[in-house]
Amino acid sequence: MSGLQSYSVWDRTTRIFHWLNAICILLLIMFGVMILNHNAIGIDSSEELILKKLHAWVGYVFIINLIWRYVWGFIGNRYARWGAVLPVGKGYISSLKEYLAGFKAGNPVHYLGHNPAARLSVSILFLLITVQAMTGLVIAGTDIFYPPFGGYIQEWIAPVGVNPADLVPGTRDLYDPDAYAEMRAFRSPILTVHEYNSFLIMFLVPLHIIGVIVTDIKEGSGLISAMFTGKKMFASKPVDSEE
């Protein structure tokens, strides 16, 4: 193909975030599905505890990477910033209508950064993974006494006269039974959100992948390789390019 020009779009931090996030989510889904189905696949309670710990450790990497991306949305390049990612701002709705009409007609408006439809879908993904990170942190505290909430949970369920730090996950010997029951009731809706939200994530991840493949075919801009190289290719200047 001739006449194509290369434009820089995704900075290195955004690309590293994207692939680290994808790897973490795949591992979290894998361990999460195993925890959820531990009885069916014959995992005993000590093995389940190991799985929960592995799941939480990957979860910390996932959360740190996500927090760094929130910060990068304020200091990264113009395509990584929240103003170019969130589906808000003057003219957003009309640009979305225009983009969808062009897409249907086989002639989409070319955007270097996220197109208006992608801004919507990426923001939904950010929202879901944020809910998953927050609920995960709470249940890691209630379940395996992991930080940042584990210490408070141990204090909550330790009987008078017992050092909260001596409470071990998985063995209820030292727990105060009433406080433990209260804590489980507190945790139950949070675990339910973590579980159902994970189903939404498992549904949307394949849709996200299908979406980028279809857009890449329609646009021919190298959308997928751009998450490796940082560059997209266009025959004419994209509407949001400053180059």
Q: With both helix axes pointing from N to C terminus, report the angle between 116-144 and 45-75 in degrees, rounded to the nearest 10.
A: 140
From the CB of 89, what's the least distance to ligand HEM, in Å? 28
Q: Which string of b and e fits 74-108 if b means at least 16 CB within 10 Å?
A: eebbebbeeebbbbeeeeeeebbeebeeebeeeeb
| 201 counts as binding ligand HEM under rule CB under 6 A | yes
How many Cβ atoms sit within 10 Å of the Cβ of residue 236?
10
Binding mask 148-187 for ligand HEM (x = CB under 6 A): ----------------------------------------
3-state secondary structure of 148: coil
Residues 15-34 that bind ligand HEM (CB under 6 A): 25, 28-29, 32-33
Q: What gap in Å lies between CA 31 and CA 62, rounded to an integer?
A: 14
The distance of closest approach from Cβ of residue 21 to ligand HEM in the complex, given in angstroms and rounded to an integer, is: 9
Measured from the CB of residue 78, what is the shortest distance to ligand HEM in angstroms? 28
Q: Which stretches of the chain bind ligand HEM, using CB under 6 A?
A: 25, 28-29, 32-33, 35-36, 52, 55-56, 59-60, 62-63, 129, 132-133, 136-137, 139-140, 143-144, 191, 194-195, 198, 201
